[in-house]
């Protein structure tokens, strides 16, 4: 009899475990898609290429992102991602000397590799724009950005005809903890790099760009999401492929499963 009760209890236990695993499997049976190399995921990701192609076909290459009136700056620019990369010695040294030793390098597929001091960049024709920053998480924030148009800087270095993309290398490092720190980098096609609103921003809301928002230079690509606005940029490299950087997907977040174009 006691054996019977035990087995009945065991049966109940097995039944309960079975039922709960059924419920659990109901919510996580698509979790295989989180594997970045899963073939089904890679198939679904091809929709992103369609989005990129469709937007490049539909959106005039010079079409501007909306610019807002000063009254719509209703709050400070919300910092996100890296907000203080002074753990990187090279960057800490720059901050200690107030960026006097900072140089922005333009390298790669250019006729004349160049480098610019912060003062040189500030003395070039400036552009100010009050635009909306859209984070991939879903929030938006309006702020005024001031800087030098990237197109004018690239033109001085004379890009070669083989250049297809601009890769933006940054001082800040992401990750850490269990994973090795990875330097932040981003990239864009030359349409976005030469867009009239794409600037090397050194000013935010009429003040010097603060460290939390990417001092001394942050790239603004106004028709893309926040992760396409790299902070603490030190080098712009023109390339025909970004396969050799990071894990080859064209940016830190792209290497972690986000799509490259970033316009949606």
Partner 1 sequence: MTDQTAESIPIEKPVKPKGPLVYRQSIFTRVTHWVWVVALFFLLLSGLQIWNAHPALYIGEQSGFEFDNTILAIGAENTDQGVRGFTTIFGHKFDTTGVLGVSEARGRQNFIGFPAWATIPSTRDLATGRVVHFFFAWILVATLAIWLIASLANRHFWRDILLKPRDVAGLPKDLVAHATFRFHHGRSYTPLQKLSYFVVLVILFPLIILTGLTMSPGMNAAWPWLLDVFGGRQTARTIHFAVMVLLVLFFVVHIAMVLLAGPFNELRSMITGYYRTSPGTEPDAKETSK
Q: Determine the longest span between alpha carbons in the chain, in angstroms.
A: 93
Q: What is the C-alpha separation between 33 and 132, in angstroms, rounded? A: 32
Walk across the sheet containing 104-108 and list its strands: 114-116, 104-108, 233-239, 165-174, 182-189
Is residue 138 part of the contact set for partner 1 (CB under 8 A)? yes
Is residue 140 part of the contact set for partner 1 (CB under 8 A)? yes
Task: Kindly state the smallest distance separating residue 187's Cβ from partner 1, in Å.
Answer: 16
Task: Kindly state the smallest distance separating residue 31's Cβ from partner 1, in Å.
Answer: 5
Q: Bridge-partner residues for 126, per DSSP?
A: 148
Is residue 135 part of the contact set for partner 1 (CB under 8 A)? yes
Q: What is the C-alpha separation between 150 and 201, in angstroms, rounded? A: 9
Is residue 190 part of the contact set for partner 1 (CB under 8 A)? no
Instruction: Give 146's contacts (C-beta < 8 A, 6+ positions apart).
Output: 126, 127, 128, 199, 201, 202, 203, 204, 206
The position carrying tokens 């972690």 is: 256
Determine whether 132 is exposed, middle or buried from the number of CB atoms within 10 Å of its CB (0-12, 13-18, 19+).
middle
Please say whether the beta carbons of 113 and 247 come within 8 A: no
Closest to partner 1 by CB, 8 vs 66, is 66
Tell me which stretch binds partner 1 (CB under 8 A): 134-142, 145-153, 154-162, 236-244.
Answer: 134-142
- Token duo for residue 19: 């039922």
Contact characters 213-232, partner 1, x per CB under 8 A:
---------xxxx-------
Among 165, 194, 258, 260, indicate the residue that binds partner 1 (CB under 8 A). Answer: 258
Closest to partner 1 by CB, 91 vs 258, is 258
Contact characters 62-101, partner 1, x per CB under 8 A:
-xxxx-x---x-xxx-x-----------------------
| Size of interface with partner 1, in residues (CB under 8 A) | 52
Is residue 137 part of the contact set for partner 1 (CB under 8 A)? yes
Closest to partner 1 by CB, 203 vs 263, is 263
* H/E run at residue 9: helix 2-28
Sites for partner 1 among residues 5-34 (CB under 8 A) = 23-24, 26-28, 30-31, 33-34
- What DSSP character marks residue 13? H
Q: Is the peptide bond before 216 cis (omega within 30 degrees of 0)?
A: yes
Instruction: Give 93's contacts (C-beta < 8 A, 6+ positions apart).
Output: 101
Residues that bind partner 1 (CB under 8 A): 23-24, 26-28, 30-31, 33-34, 41, 44-45, 47-48, 50-51, 55, 58-60, 63-66, 68, 72, 74-76, 78, 132, 134-142, 222-225, 253, 256-259, 261, 263-264
């Amino acid at each position: 009899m006691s054996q019977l009760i035990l087995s009945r209890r065991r049966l109940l236990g097995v039944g309960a475990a079975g039922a709960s695993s059924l419920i659990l499997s109901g919510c996580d049976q698509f979790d295989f898609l989180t594997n970045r190399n899963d073939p089904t995921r890679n198939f679904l990701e091809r929709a992103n290429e369609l989005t990129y192609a469709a937007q490049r076909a539909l959106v005039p290459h010079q079409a501007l992102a909306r610019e807002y009136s000063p009254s719509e700056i209703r709050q400070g620019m919300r910092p996100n991602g890296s907000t203080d990369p002074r753990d990187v010695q090279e960057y800490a040294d720059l901050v200690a000397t107030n960026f006097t030793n900072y140089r922005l390098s333009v390298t790669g597929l250019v006729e004349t590799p160049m480098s610019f001091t912060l003062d040189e960049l500030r003395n070039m024709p400036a552009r100010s724009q009050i635009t909306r920053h859209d984070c991939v998480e879903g929030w938006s924030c309006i702020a005024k950005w001031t800087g030098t148009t990237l197109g004018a800087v690239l033109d001085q270095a004379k890009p070669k005809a083989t250049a297809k993309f601009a890769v933006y290398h940054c001082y800040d490092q992401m990750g850490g903890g269990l994973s090795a720190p990875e330097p932040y980098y981003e990239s864009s096609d030359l349409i976005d790099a030469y867009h009239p609103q794409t600037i090397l921003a050194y000013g935010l809301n009429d003040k010097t760009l603060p460290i939390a928002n990417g001092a001394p230079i942050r790239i603004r690509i106004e028709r893309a999401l926040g992760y396409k606005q790299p902070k603490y940029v030190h080098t712009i490299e023109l390339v025909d492929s970004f396969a050799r950087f990071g894990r080859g997907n064209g940016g830190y977040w792209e290497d972690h499963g986000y799509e490259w174009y970033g316009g949606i």
